[in-house]
């Protein structure tokens, strides 16, 4: 151990930990090790140092040409600060004393007119090796709902790796759920051409998808919400129940509704290919607000590029996609993509899932949440009373 780390650096260390570690590493967090507990830092000092040195934590290695919110990235300077602090006997013993989770960043978020919560998967005990189940929840909304935030919170921390959401007005998902005697049903969460994730999703370290003002999801009347839930391989059966919470939009500023734009799927004749692209040219201008990656266990990497007449831009590159750390990415500022922009989604596949049953094979998709430009007029929702609580 080196000499004690200067005490005036304690606040800097605490701020780094709160920003990059505590979204997951708390007593009720998704990840092991409660890093608000000083004993954890001292007892696991070598393990934490190794994870930092190897770049294994935080576990979202991405490259991007735009800025995303809440990625918990750890810049090289911050990583070096933590490593120096861990080399100090005194600091390693006391880091947790000053570490508290950062307050939620609600800057720029619209006021809420209310919320509604639904308990999902109450009878689901997950497979110790991990599994996927889909659930349909009838929300019985008589009018259009506009939701600015979707939160998916597991009842047991760490039990669910990721969840994506889709609205369904066809009744198909409800029938599938009712026909399966077990909790939910065994299939992916897509319904026809509609892709799960159209209403966002959440994952470890990012349980809420909060759209910035003035954007919102549109939930059609008499709709069921379809949740594709991926259980984490914990090595033991866990309670797979989760709470779905919708926070509704109510702002004086006219709302802009996001729409799903899916790039991916396995092209005809490419079922056995290990690498393929999906290219799309935009027929109209849009603002890109968020990206929801869906790859399951079949994808090694994903990349999204945009090429306009004047410039090319790497939007998002996930060089090592990990299904157990799947999560949405919300841009700090919407990205304007003009008509004529060519979008290219590139997928590198793993061979292990190429011959999985069709019902459980994840077609890799980068789901873009976009708002048309100019924005069409959208009806406002009626006042909502949450009767589910």
**In-domain check, residue 387:** no
Q: Which of 73, 98, 123 is where one domain is finished?
A: 98
Domain coverage including residue 187: 112-372
**In-domain check, residue 380:** no
Burial of 56 (0-12, 13-18, 19+ CB in 10 A): exposed
pLDDT computed for residue 3 by the predictor: 34
Which CATH number do you get for residue 141? 2.60.120.230
| Residues 119 and 93 both lie in one domain | no
| Residues 157 and 183 both lie in one domain | yes
Confidence of residue 15 (pLDDT cuts 50, 70, 90): confident
**In-domain check, residue 105:** no
**In-domain check, residue 87:** yes
**In-domain check, residue 132:** yes
Among 49-53, 225-229, 236-240, the range scoring the smallest mean pLDDT is 49-53
Enumerate residues 6+ apart whose C-beta is below 8 A from 315.
64, 65, 66, 288, 291, 304, 305, 306, 335
pLDDT computed for residue 78 by the predictor: 84
| Residues 313 and 246 both lie in one domain | yes
- Whether the pLDDT of residue 107 is over 60: the answer is no
As a whole number, mean pLDDT of residues 307-327 equals 86
As a whole number, mean pLDDT of residues 245-258 equals 88
As a whole number, mean pLDDT of residues 188-205 equals 86
Distance in angstroms (rounded) separating the CA atoms of residues 333 and 68: 8
| Residues 186 and 328 both lie in one domain | yes
- Whether the pLDDT of residue 170 is over 80: the answer is yes
Confidence of residue 6 (pLDDT cuts 50, 70, 90): very low
**In-domain check, residue 351:** yes
| Residues 145 and 265 both lie in one domain | yes
pLDDT computed for residue 113 by the predictor: 52
| Residues 81 and 137 both lie in one domain | no
As a whole number, mean pLDDT of residues 293-312 equals 87
Distance in angstroms (rounded) separating the CA atoms of residues 342 and 251: 34
Q: Which run of H or E residues covers position 138?
A: strand 132-138
**In-domain check, residue 213:** yes
Confidence of residue 372 (pLDDT cuts 50, 70, 90): very high
pLDDT computed for residue 357 by the predictor: 45
**Number of domains, the chain:** 2
| Residues 329 and 283 both lie in one domain | yes
Give the pLDDT confidence of 343-354 residue by residue, as tens digits: 999 998 877 654
Confidence of residue 95 (pLDDT cuts 50, 70, 90): low
pLDDT computed for residue 271 by the predictor: 56
As a whole number, mean pLDDT of residues 172-189 equals 92
* Share of residues in the chain with pLDDT > 90 (%): 38
pLDDT computed for residue 4 by the predictor: 40
| Residues 241 and 363 both lie in one domain | yes
Confidence of residue 199 (pLDDT cuts 50, 70, 90): very high
| Residues 227 and 295 both lie in one domain | yes
Q: Contact 102/19 with Cβ under 8 angstroms? A: yes
**In-domain check, residue 130:** yes
| Residues 218 and 263 both lie in one domain | yes
pLDDT computed for residue 104 by the predictor: 36
Q: Which of 50, 68, 98 is where one domain is finished?
A: 98
Distance in angstroms (rounded) separating the CA atoms of residues 141 and 13: 47
| Residues 242 and 365 both lie in one domain | yes
Among 336-345, 367-376, 379-388, the range scoring the smallest mean pLDDT is 379-388
pLDDT computed for residue 98 by the predictor: 44
- Whether the pLDDT of residue 174 is over 90: the answer is yes
| Residues 294 and 361 both lie in one domain | yes
Confidence of residue 306 (pLDDT cuts 50, 70, 90): very high
Enumerate residues 6+ apart whose C-beta is below 8 A from 314.
63, 64, 65, 303, 304, 305
- Whether the pLDDT of residue 50 is over 90: the answer is no
pLDDT computed for residue 272 by the predictor: 60
Of 17-26, 52-61, 82-91, 189-198, where does the model show the most confidence?
A: 189-198
Query: Model-level pTM greater than 0.75?
Result: yes
Give the pLDDT confidence of 259-292 residue by residue, as tens digits: 999 998 765 555 566 888 899 999 999 999 999 9
């Amino acid at each position: 151990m080196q000499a004690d780390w200067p005490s005036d650096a304690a606040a800097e260390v605490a701020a780094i930990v709160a920003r990059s570690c505590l979204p997951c590493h708390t007593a009720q967090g998704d990840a092991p090790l409660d890093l608000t507990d000083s004993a954890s830092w001292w007892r696991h000092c070598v393990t934490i140092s190794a994870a930092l040195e190897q770049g294994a934590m935080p576990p979202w290695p991405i490259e991007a040409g735009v800025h995303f919110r809440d990625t918990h990235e750890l810049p090289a300077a911050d990583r070096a600060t933590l490593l120096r602090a861990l080399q100090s006997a005194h600091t390693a013993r006391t880091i947790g004393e000053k570490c508290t989770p950062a307050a939620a960043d609600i800057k720029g978020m619209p006021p809420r007119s209310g919320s509604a919560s639904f308990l999902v998967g109450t009878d689901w005990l997950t497979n110790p090796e991990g599994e996927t189940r889909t659930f349909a929840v009838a929300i019985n909304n008589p009018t259009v709902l506009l939701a600015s935030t979707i939160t998916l919170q597991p009842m047991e921390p760490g039990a669910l790796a990721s969840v994506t959401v889709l609205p369904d007005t066809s009744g198909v998902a409800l029938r599938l759920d009712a026909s399966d005697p077990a909790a939910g049903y065994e299939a992916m969460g897509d319904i026809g051409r509609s892709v799960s994730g159209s209403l966002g999703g959440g994952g470890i370290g990012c349980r809420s998808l909060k759209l910035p003002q003035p954007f919102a999801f549109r939930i059609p009347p008499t709709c069921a919400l379809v949740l594709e839930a991926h259980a984490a391989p914990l090595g033991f059966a866990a309670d797979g129940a989760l709470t779905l919470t919708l926070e509704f939009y109510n702002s004086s500023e006219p709302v802009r509704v996001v729409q799903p734009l899916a790039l991916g799927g396995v092209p005809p004749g490419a079922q056995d290919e290990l690498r393929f692209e999906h290219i799309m040219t935009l027929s109209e201008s849009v603002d890109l607000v968020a990206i929801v990656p869906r790859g399951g266990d079949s994808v090694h990497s994903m990349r999204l590029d945009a090429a306009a007449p004047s410039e090319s831009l790497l939007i998002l590159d996930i060089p090592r996609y990990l299904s157990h750390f799947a999560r949405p990415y919300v841009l700090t500022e919407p990205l304007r993509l003009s008509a004529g922009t060519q979008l290219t989604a590139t997928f590198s596949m793993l061979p292990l899932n190429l011959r999985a049953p069709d019902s459980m094979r994840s077609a890799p998709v980068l789901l873009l949440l976009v708002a048309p430009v100019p924005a069409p007029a959208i009806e406002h929702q009626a006042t909502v009373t949450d009767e589910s609580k």
